[in-house]
Chains A and B, each alone.
Chain A
Amino acid sequence: MKILSSNYIIGLLLCLGISSCSDKWADHIGSGDAQQSLYEVVNDNAQFSAFADLLERSGYAEDLKASKNYTLIIPTNEAVEAVRSNYDNFNDSTVLRSFVGYHIINSIYSVNEATDTVKAKNFRNKYVEFTRGAFDEVVPTSQNLTAGNGIYHVVPAALKPLQSVFDFVMINFSELEQVKAVSSFDTVITVNADGTRILRINSLWFTQTRQHMTREDKKITYFVLDDEYYSEEYNKLRPYHSTSYAEDGVRPDSTTTFFTKRALLSDLIVEGELGAEDLDAELLAVSGTKFRVDAADVISTHKTSNGRVYRVKKLNVALADQIKEIKVLGIQPVGFKQNDKAGNTYYRNKRDLNGELYDDIQIYDHKVTAFYAKYRANNLNVVKYKVYGRAIMGLAGDPQVTAFTQYVHFFDPTLVSANEVDLYKRPVVNNQDVNDTRMTFTVEPRNHDEVYLGEVIQDEFGRLPLLVMSNGTGPIILEYLRFVPILP
């Protein structure tokens, strides 16, 4: 009897024990309402059935089952229906993926009314902008809801997948000369020995022009010109970009046409997305060219995923802003007469008498007759340049305190294009060629002003090699040389 009752007690305790053991962690962890995956959230909610269907068809459903973290922007059924006709009922799988992928963002982005624009990259590699509680100006009906693998926001209107500037102009303005010029750079330009064709895009073109039009993490404003104005500008700039390379030769990326187009096309991109009200001011292209737009010349404006496209009749731009002056910095030599004088070569960061910082090069006590440093002026247009130089000495602590002379030496232009390497094999000091140009650069103590050195003609677009040479074994000091084009 007693044993029975004690067994009973033990049994009771046993039950208690089991229940209390399992409860303590449940109490600690809590109910866990965030444990559905995003995929389940979309599928289990009748309000999102249209999007769930699209998700399944697009193939992105698998991603939302995975346990990486996503932010999902869910358009309601009404929102999907409202745009269904715009996308041809999503029959095209590309369109479908583009639409759905636009609503899925890698990593977690919560909506916060207090914060300014946050850009979130979605599955289409486009950026959705979260600005003060709205996405691309769509205000969510509910926001910051958690799921097992991320968070989601519900929007009453679907987000619109936009094309990049590049894609937009290529599709919508393909007939225009300007756009043809852009696409001409994307054509096959090299054929290998085995017959394979490779697309080789000129790197300068890519970084200076094309990349601006395609990259999604920055916004630009792009101007598309009338054919008439485009041709006018092209013809105007062409003489300044002429080269000796044949138009149908082995280097299609070095022809006159190439350089002219490249200069013109990079003048049409402005950083940042400009609204109509911003067009009144003077604009600065990524190439550094200044120009203005007359409001009357704007034909249409178009929003793209990475900026705004303005279709305009013409731009107001001066030739002086297009053919720019060039500076050659003393601290950027490309070589020296001999390589053993690094110990005598100083790259200095100094303050001038006005307290302004400047960088220069000083080659001092080198003990080499007619020592020189090699420089290159790049992207010089076909035009005559005035050359100015600035070299400062005689400041406190300088070893050189008295006036001295150095030379700026330009080679015979005919030799330059033939082979730059051979230039330096010539005994330039004693046998100065008749076609060489040597300018005397007299440096006065404590002189902050530029010194006019002379004129030099560039007869082919591109680089101009030059030397800065010592007088005997004297010093060389140079902050910069400035090439100012002499324009009509």
Chain B
Amino acid sequence: MINKNKLIKLGTFLFLTTVAGGKIYSQTDQVTDQQVLAQQANLVKVSGTVIDSRSGEPIAGARVTYGTTTAKITDNRGRFELELPEEDALVEVSMDGYTAKQIPVLFDRPMEVVIYPASYPSFYKQTTTVFGSNSLMNTAGAIAKYDINAWEQNSETLDSYLQGKLSGVSVVRKSGTPTMGANVMIRNYNSLYTNNQPLYIIDGVVYASEIHSPSITTGHENNPLQNIDVRDIQDITILKDAVSASIYGARAANGVVVINTNHAKELATKIDFQATTGMNFTPKALPTMAAYAYRSYLNDVLATTSLSGEEIGGMPFNNDDRNFEEYARYHNETDWQKEVFKGSQDQNYYLKVTGGDNIAKYALSVGYNNEKGIIDNTNSEKYTARFNGDMEITKKLTAQTNISMGYGQQNLKDQGLSPKTNPIFLSLVKAPFMHPNEVSADGGVSPIYAEADILNISNPLQIIHNGINNKKSYRFLGSVVFDYKFNEQFNLTNLLAVTYDKAQEDFFVPKKGIARDTVNNMEVFSRLGTQVARYFGISNDIRLNFSKDLGNSSQLQAAAGFRYHNHDAEQDYALGFNSATDQLVSIGNSTAASRVYGGHIGSWNSLTTYALGSLTLKNKYIFNGSVGVDGSSRFGDKVKSSIKIDDKAFGIFPAVGAAWILSNEDFLKSNASVNLLKMRVNYGVVGNDDVGNYAARQNYISQNFLGVQGLVREGLANPYLKWESVEKLNAGLDVSFFQERLNVSVDVYQHTTRDMLVYNRGNALAGVAYYLYNNGSMRNRGVDLNIFGRVVDRAVKWDAGLTLGTYQNEMVSLPETSFTSYAGATFITEKGSPANSFYGYKFDGVYSTEAEAQAADLGILDIAGEKVPFNAGDARFVDKNRDGIIDESDRFILGNPIPDLFGGLNNTISYKNWKFGALFTFSVGNDIYNYTRAQLESGSTYYNQTELLQGRWRTEGQVTNVPKAAYGDPMGNARFSDRWIEDGSYLRLRQVSLEYNFPVNKQIIKYVRIYGTANNLFTWSKYLGYDPEFASSADIFHQGVDVTLEPIYKSVQLGLRIGL
């Protein structure tokens, strides 16, 4: 079928173009010209009708084009006629506001072409990716595109917005805190100890989205994506496989998210304005015990301490004498969760102006966002501005500027593992008989909040009202693109970008009302801290592009380029304790001896040379090839690599792919029900360079020893340290049925990480217990499925899209089984199993009687190695090795946080001026370690517990599943076991929106729309926590652990949009 000679010529051409640029250009031009002339000899006539999917009526004025030579406009009845030179030709049917479509021509009968509005998802979409502006059709890669229209969802950040919309992209929102964002995993994590978040490319610039400096507010992360307003985004394209991403070389292992922001499309001035107000709702309270039941529990626990019955009886909360002077203080019924969680209102304004003339176009937008959290007294205020300009300097030289600025100011509170200062945690565990405020003997309530109680539990309202956690963050991202068009085939692009980011944080934990602590052998009563984190990045990307229509329905695109990226990050912090009074809140007021200074600097460079080519033959066969050659200052000097420049190792990341559009073949093109069938397969290698800025080098850190500052060696140099490589194999199928009414895209893939960083046991004599080295391997296999289409197509239009993802993770090789622990949980990572599996004991009920406990003959070993038997009321654990001792060798794999299936169901229903949208998201089969519940049902502390503890074992013969209360848990009844592992599956009505478009006089005003949106309206889950969706960080070893973060909450918004 394909001319062999022609192929060889083209192959040679592709190679030479990418390597040598324009030198051969004149020769190739001649070749194609000859071909075109040769084929104009015998013309064939085709005819057809273009139909609008919305009305079902023919469209007049649609363009029907063939290559650059033939173009026709449809007549009033939507009909067209063309004369074409070849039988397997494709014609493109396009119309403003509609997605252009390339379809194979039919000669035996008139064609019927249905075109869809641009908002309808389609395989025929144009996308601007690394291949330049191109049709999705012409790639062999696994690419998903999503057109953003996020006006209704302005409370989202970019990462959380992606949830449920793209198949194989697992998005787990970190918490309900505004701007917190989400963990985005494109086909699962590919690495244990390095970055596993995708690379974000915004307007062609590699966006610094890594979190360089940890926040000094516990449980918080400064999300670099918060400064992008989702309304500024035009479209998002996800590059999941290797061939579409390998030009990003050692940074593309986790997939690439390509984002294009709004540019002016028309010359006319357009103004869009939006104003929104929102309400946030507090979550359903966890059923902790009320004062009566808690007091009984507390007395039970106290009875197991060294305190005597008389001492316990003498405690003020046990004194029920109304004349007792502290009676009013200790006899209340406080719903602490209600005190801490408060509903709140959001405000949001956004203005966008676009326009220009035929020399310069601009798109300017400014936004103000004031979002409040549901923890009382927290909020996030955000200002964003973006200026995108397009300039045509000469006919051949164009320039584009993309400038964005963001400023955010946030009032936060500690969250997560911070038992003395996390207000949510405190609201759960604090004694309900205490009053939030100071109370006088006669019951008078003071406006002053109460001190920490006698059980040494802080008053969460002190944290909320008198504590300070203030963050200010700025980001500037500016880029300039020059594009010089040599001729029809060649153009040279240079992109220069600068990123500046700064985050400033201050916190103060007051003395009054907060439980005291001991840090470094010092009694701590107030805590202060401040931090400045700074990032500066500059990058330049120069690229030569080549594009040519080869005729004969064939075309070629190629590019080669060179990218340099310099990063410079710095963090400086100071932490101190014990300021003189609670009015002195800045770090300088802490006692000098207690102050600790620290921080880090990180600066690194990367250098990438890349080339890619894409060849489409006869509109049926697509070949893609790309390669990235990546060097980084992070890599060691002695790395073995096939390419070394100036003695530095460079990683090579090649990828190839092929696709076959079967529906353009003769045997299928006349099929009425199957309109599109495309098979794709590709293979390649991408890398992960996040091996640590200085891990390959020997470095020193400063350390304080007895008041003297000195330098100590941090680690041994590992000059063999290199990038991780991920081998990606992907096969996919895109099918479209019934004139695009039903579309299915399915991908199967295998990602194998090689040279994965893992901890190796070091030589203890050298002072190195463990070191990182590239000798691990991991594999992910999975399937992505995306089904979308129009369910109802009458007066009511119902578009639905279902995305599904599933994968299996397996450790292929590891130097040794590793155990990690977090929040009291143990995780195992061993060969043959998924990484990071929960590893703990199996709980098997409670011994009801002494006789039952004796018969079981199980025990634990005390420090002296003596067996201590379990008694009645203790938990029964499964003795795996049957040695009568419950110890570490009796642990089982209890599950893992990876879902079996996840995805979303997106619906849009429109009827006349009404538009209704609903997004469901779901996750099935992921396990959660409920740390919060483990604290609330341990029965071993003074913490308030859930009502479950009312059924605790108390008497001989009592049959229950709740072990007895015992202070300090001497028998380990509350140890990490499957009692705390829960099914985290959920189905959530993530977002519902209803919009009404007012009929207006379009001469004066373009549109007036009013809409309402509800977020997270319903969540169906068996999970016993506030919410089953959370992530305390992006670290693998922290996944699936509920450490009491601000839960994701329900909210509604009411908004108005006006277009002028």
Contacts and interface: CB of A to CB of B under 8 A. Distances in A.
Given A68-B295, A114-B851, A148-B293, A28 B320 contact: no
A266 to B, nearest CB: 28
A1 B795 CA distance: 11
Interface in B280-309: 284, 286-287, 291-296, 299-300, 303, 309
A32 interface: yes
A117 interface: no
Interface stretch (B434-442, B530-538, B698-706, B947-955): B947-955
A108 B318 contact: no
A4 to B, nearest CB: 11
B875 interface: no
Interface stretch (B234-242, B667-675, B1016-1024): B1016-1024
Interface string A1-19: 1110010000001101100
Interface residues on B, range: 35 or more
Interface in B979-994: 989
Nearest to A21: B284
B909 interface: yes
Interface in B253-296: 284, 286-287, 291-296
Scoring A68, A111, A148, A150 by chain B CB atoms within 10 A of each residue's CB, the highest score goes to A68
B956 A144 contact: yes
B950 A112 contact: no
Contacts of B1023: 24
Interface in B937-994: 946-948, 950-951, 954-958, 961, 989
B796 A14 contact: no
Given A3-B909, A20-B1020, A148 B850 contact: no
Interface string B1021-1047: 111100000000000000000000000
A152 B298 CA distance: 19
Contacts of A145: 955
B771 interface: no
Contact of B958 (A1, A13, A146): A146
A121 B309 contact: yes
Task: Tell me the dominant secondary structure on chain A's binding face.
Answer: mixed
Contacts of B294: 67
A34 interface: yes
Interface in B307-328: 309, 312-313, 318, 320
B694 interface: no
A69 to B, nearest CB: 5
Given A17-B1020, A68-B299, A114-B851, A106 B951 contact: no
Contacts of B951: 29-30, 32, 34
Given A29-B946, A67-B293, A146 B1018 contact: no
A63 interface: yes
A435 interface: no
Contacts of A14: 1018
A110 B850 CA distance: 11
B798 interface: yes
Given A68-B299, A110-B954, A28 B1024 contact: yes
Contacts of B947: 25, 29, 32
A63 B909 contact: no
Contacts of B843: none
Contacts of B909: 2-3, 6
B916 interface: yes
Scoring A69, A110, A144, A145 by chain B CB atoms within 10 A of each residue's CB, the highest score goes to A69
Interface string A103-119: 00011101110110000
A107 B796 contact: no
B516 to A, nearest CB: 28
A428 interface: no
A66 B291 CA distance: 10
Interface string A127-151: 0000000000000000111101111
A35 interface: yes
A67 B1020 contact: no
B850 A25 contact: no
Contacts of B954: 34, 108, 110, 146, 151
B725 to A, nearest CB: 44
Given A3-B916, A29-B947, A67-B295, A108 B850 contact: no
A427 B947 CA distance: 80
A62 interface: yes
B71 interface: no
B771 to A, nearest CB: 45
A281 B139 CA distance: 107
Contacts, number: 112
A62 B320 contact: yes
A67 B296 contact: yes
Contact of A112 (B309, B320, B956, B1024): B956
Scoring B286, B946, B955 by chain A CB atoms within 10 A of each residue's CB, the highest score goes to B955
A224 B184 CA distance: 88
Interface string B365-408: 00000000000000000000000000000000000000000000
A150 B292 CA distance: 12
Interface residues of A, number: 42
B792 interface: yes
Scoring A32, A67, A69, A146 by chain B CB atoms within 10 A of each residue's CB, the highest score goes to A67
B911 interface: yes
B1020 A34 contact: no
Nearest to A115: B850
Interface in A417-461: none
Nearest to A150: B296
B1049 to A, nearest CB: 14
A72 to B, nearest CB: 12
Given A3-B909, A28-B948, A69 B956 contact: no
A68 B1020 contact: no
Contacts of B313: 68, 106
A16 B1020 contact: yes
Given A110-B955, A151-B955, A69 B293 contact: no
Contacts of A67: 291-296, 299
Contacts of B287: 25, 29
A149 B300 CA distance: 10
A17 B1016 CA distance: 12
A107 B1020 contact: no
Nearest to B964: A108
A34 to B, nearest CB: 6
A34 B955 CA distance: 11
A486 to B, nearest CB: 49
A1 B309 CA distance: 71
B1018 to A, nearest CB: 4
B872 to A, nearest CB: 8
B798 A68 contact: no
Contacts of A149: 292, 296
Nearest to A33: B951
Interface string A369-401: 000000000000000000000000000000000
B916 to A, nearest CB: 7
Contact of A35 (B850, B950, B957): B950
Interface in A150-168: 150-151
A63 B320 contact: yes
A6 B911 CA distance: 13
A174 B851 CA distance: 50
A16 B1018 CA distance: 10
Contacts of A150: 296
A18 to B, nearest CB: 8
Given A2-B796, A2-B909, A110 B956 contact: yes
11 contacts: A2-B796, A21-B284, A24-B1021, A25-B947, A25-B1024, A32-B950, A67-B291, A68-B313, A108-B300, A108-B955, A148-B296
The 8 closest A-B pairs by CB, nearest first: A67-B295, A144-B955, A110-B955, A17-B1018, A110-B956, A67-B296, A2-B796, A67-B292
Given A2-B792, A30-B961, 11 more contacts: A14-B1018, A25-B1024, A32-B947, A66-B318, A67-B291, A69-B300, A110-B957, A114-B851, A115-B850, A146-B954, A151-B955
